[in-house]
Amino acid sequence: MVALTGGMFWSGHTTPRLGIDLAGGTSITLKAKAEPGQESAVNETNMNTAVGIIERRVNGLGVSEAEVQTQGRENIIVNIPKGTNEKQAREQVGTTAQLYFRPVLTVAAAAPEAAPTATPSGSATPKPSASASVGEKKSATPTATASTQGRALSEALKAPNATGTPTPTGSASATPKASATPQPTPSADAATAALQQKFTTLNCLDPKQRTAAAAGTKPGDSIVACGKNAIGQWEKYLLGPAEVEGRDVDDAKAAIDQQSGQWIVDMTFTDAGSKKFQSITSKLSQQAEPQNQFAIVLDGEVVSAPRVQTTLSANAQISGSFNQQSAQDLGNILAYGALPLSFDTQSVDTVTAALGGEQLEAGLIAGAIGLALVILYLVVYYRGLSFIAILSLGVSALLTYVIMSLLGPAIGFALNLPAVCGAIVAIGITADSFIVYFERIRDELREGRTLRPAVERAWPRARRTILVSDFVSFLAAAVLFIVTVGKVQGFAFTLGLTTLLDIVVVFLFTKPLMTLLARTKFFGDGHPWSGLDPKRLGAKPPLRRTRRNAPAAGAAGTVEPKEA
């Protein structure tokens, strides 16, 4: 108790985390589905990847303390706290992930650039990039400075090729001729000017701007997007139209390169995807940095931007500063974008904070009434023994509260209304264990034994009954937790937790406390208010032991028994 309570105050989480139905907010239940013949796409790996993608979308809405977790094999529960636009949240989490491969036109720092000033600096400053190279290890990527960005941007957009796709004609890292204030080249049309202005003013440090950057764009459009570099800093990208889609990826997985021993990501493309990928890599391999990169864009955000060193087709290998986790994450993202996995919205529940507060108050009142009735029964029927039961209930309640408070930050546990119901039911289960033990002690007293041996003789029989009873309750809670989804799991989890705590309290508190109090005069002598009065219980008189006297020397005949 001391250790757990100290840990609770040390962590700073002194109250249980409340669920959506109590704190207010929106709860969305999604069910995964796959295209006919692709049922295997609904598996644990892809579901976990989907959770990560949905978390990114929810975070993009600017919310905090949102919960996104799988429940069962094919369900995802999204709980978003109050203050979030329910319609926007539903649109964000219910759509299929969009994965595209786009050529990189230019890269800049995350924050909007300041107005150009007269400085002699006209060259790009190299710094680490988030991109890994395709076919070789990662190296530094030059990033355009404010003075060169306008020129590089206009040059990257101005020359369309035969297919109408803007073709990069200059490098963002090129050093312009010396001039006091390099000016951006005027855009030939309004669309290019708007895109250039959007790129210039984009602030990738703002989550809402990151989400809105590529909103409403089509695969054939040039876009602006945000992504993190190798040292975890946000950068903004100007990207050309999508050349390859996620569905063109046949498979992707993390592996260890046999030559370097480093973690890599292997990609395999479909037949159609191979032709597209060969076409784009043949172009990019001839360009200077950063225009020799292609960006892997998931839901409008750059998750990786590898460099292309040579023309590739059916197979590609992404290498860089990967560890096992980062390689697996990227492999899952690529594989997820290729799978025909989407989600149906099963339910959307919105609860206001006022309604949640009323529900919590009603639940606490119901719990208080139930606890009061149990205590009243114990006092009337067990008298002094009720003191032990009430203390044990208090210990159980304290441990339950502290553990629930710690489980919030530890595993994301949230106390919802069904969980409160589970805690109320647990009051009766816990009290039942005390009653079993007390009745066993009383049975021993009725047989004519004194209290101290009665306490010890009653324990093995009571212990067996308590364990069997709690095992049945825990089994029911475990089955309910496994086969149900949604808020019902909160009831099952709380019921299982309190059942385990019942065993801990009875074994480590109630039984030792009973042993100590049996040595006191109040309980040991069977005071009328102790609840262990032998006369009140109808106990038999103490058993008298008899023995045979040893025959006198030389005497014959039988020996009559004598009272001990």
* Lowest-confidence pick of 144-158, 281-295, 426-440: 144-158
- Residue 372 three-state SS: helix
- Does the pLDDT at position 149 exceed 90? no
User: In the predicted model, what is the mean pLDDT of residues 418-425?
Assistant: 85
pTM here is 0.53
Q: What would the pLDDT profile of 51-83 be if each residue is shown by its tens digit?
A: 877 776 676 555 555 678 888 788 888 877 765
If you average pLDDT over each of 26-40, 307-321, 475-489, 493-507, which comes out highest?
A: 493-507
If you average pLDDT over each of 15-24, 231-240, 376-385, 497-506, which comes out highest?
A: 497-506
Question: What residues pair up with 253 in beta bridges, in sequence order?
Answer: 266
Q: What integer pLDDT is reported at residue 109 of this predicted model?
A: 87
- Does the pLDDT at position 160 exceed 50? no
Q: What would the pLDDT profile of 199-216 be if each residue is shown by its tens digit?
A: 888 888 887 788 777 776
Phi then psi dihedrals of residue 32, to 5 deg: -75, 145
Amino acid identity, position 562: K
- 399: its two tokens: 């441990």
More confidently predicted of 536 and 558: 536
Q: How confident is the model at residue 563 (pLDDT cuts 50, 70, 90)?
A: very low
- Does the pLDDT at position 28 exceed 70? yes
Q: Do 131 and 293 form a contact (C-beta atoms < 8 A)?
A: yes
Cα–Cα dist 6/398, whole Å: 13
Q: What integer pLDDT is reported at residue 510 of this predicted model?
A: 92
If you average pLDDT over each of 98-112, 449-463, 481-495, which comes out highest?
A: 449-463
Closest among 17, 69, 67 to 407, alpha carbons compared: 17
Q: How confident is the model at residue 119 (pLDDT cuts 50, 70, 90)?
A: very low
The 10 Å Cβ neighbour count of residue 40 is 9
Q: What integer pLDDT is reported at residue 128 of this predicted model?
A: 32
Question: What residues pair up with 307 in beta bridges, in sequence order?
Answer: 133, 293
Q: Do 204 and 236 form a contact (C-beta atoms < 8 A)?
A: yes
The secondary element (H helix, E strand) that includes residue 152 is helix 146-158
Burial class (CB in 10 A: 0-12, 13-18, 19+), 553: exposed
Cα–Cα dist 23/429, whole Å: 28
Cα–Cα dist 315/497, whole Å: 50
- 301: its two tokens: 């955000």
**% residues pLDDT > 70 (the chain):** 74
Cα–Cα dist 564/561, whole Å: 9
Closest among 528, 289, 408 to 22, alpha carbons compared: 408
Buried b (16+ CB within 10 A) or exposed e, 341-370: bbbeeeebebbeeeebeebbeebeeebeeb
Average pLDDT across the chain, whole number: 75
Q: Do 411 and 497 form a contact (C-beta atoms < 8 A)?
A: no
The 10 Å Cβ neighbour count of residue 549 is 9
Q: Which residues neighbour 265 within 8 Å (Cβ) at sequence distance 6 or greater?
A: 252, 253, 254, 255, 317, 318, 319, 322, 327, 330, 331, 334
The 10 Å Cβ neighbour count of residue 552 is 8
Amino acid identity, position 78: V
Buried b (16+ CB within 10 A) or exposed e, 121-142: ebebeebbbbbbbbbeebeebb
Cα–Cα dist 141/154, whole Å: 20
DSSP letters for 426-445 = HHHHHHHHHHHHHHHHHHHH
Q: How confident is the model at residue 542 (pLDDT cuts 50, 70, 90)?
A: low
Q: What integer pLDDT is reported at residue 153 of this predicted model?
A: 52
- Does the pLDDT at position 161 exceed 70? no
Q: What integer pLDDT is reported at residue 60 of this predicted model?
A: 56
Q: Do 417 and 359 form a contact (C-beta atoms < 8 A)?
A: yes
Cα(first)–Cα(last) distance of the chain, in Å?
50
Phi-psi region of 225 (alpha: psi -120 to 50; beta: other; left: phi over 0): beta
Question: What residues pair up with 297 in beta bridges, in sequence order?
Answer: 100, 302
Q: What integer pLDDT is reported at residue 157 of this predicted model?
A: 52
Q: What integer pLDDT is reported at residue 137 of this predicted model?
A: 34
Cα–Cα dist 9/2, whole Å: 11
- Does the pLDDT at position 482 exceed 70? yes
User: In the predicted model, what is the mean pLDDT of residues 387-405?
Assistant: 91
Q: What integer pLDDT is reported at residue 57 of this predicted model?
A: 65
Q: Do 532 and 442 form a contact (C-beta atoms < 8 A)?
A: yes
**% residues pLDDT > 90 (the chain):** 13
Q: How confident is the model at residue 113 (pLDDT cuts 50, 70, 90)?
A: low
Q: What would the pLDDT profile of 425-479 be if each residue is shown by its tens digit?
A: 888 888 889 889 999 998 888 888 888 899 999 999 899 999 999 999 999 999 9
If you average pLDDT over each of 36-50, 98-112, 212-226, which comes out highest?
A: 98-112
If you average pLDDT over each of 243-247, 267-271, 473-477, which comes out highest?
A: 473-477
